[in-house]
């Protein structure tokens, strides 16, 4: 979703773990076991902790249901 005054961006591109599982619509353990440990979504370590790319999560969900 693009940012605009009509449709503000609800989710940032880089998500914390607590945000990432909510964004994917699954429980925390399901997100880690099904998406991260299987390599569908990568965890990116940063200076501020581990972050997950919301675009990768979108692709993983798209291929799961597609």
The DSSP-derived string for 27-52 is -HHHIIIIIITTTSS-EEEETTEEEE
Owning domain of residue 36 = 14-65
The total number of structural domains that make up the chain: 1
Alpha carbon of residue 41 to chain centroid:
8
29 within some domain: yes
Distance CA 49, CA 60 (A): 22
Per-residue pLDDT tens for 2-22?
A: 555 565 678 899 999 999 999
Q: 3 in a domain, yes or no? A: no
In a domain, residue 54? The reply is yes
pLDDT band for position 63 (50/70/90)? Answer: confident
Length of the chain: 66
């Amino acid at each position: 979703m693009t940012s605009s005054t009509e449709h503000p961006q609800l989710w940032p591109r880089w998500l914390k773990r607590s945000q990432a599982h909510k964004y994917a619509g699954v429980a925390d353990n399901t997100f880690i076991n099904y998406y991260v440990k299987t390599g569908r979504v990568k965890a990116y370590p940063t200076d501020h902790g581990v972050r997950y790319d919301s675009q990768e999560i979108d692709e993983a969900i798209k291929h799961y249901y597609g």
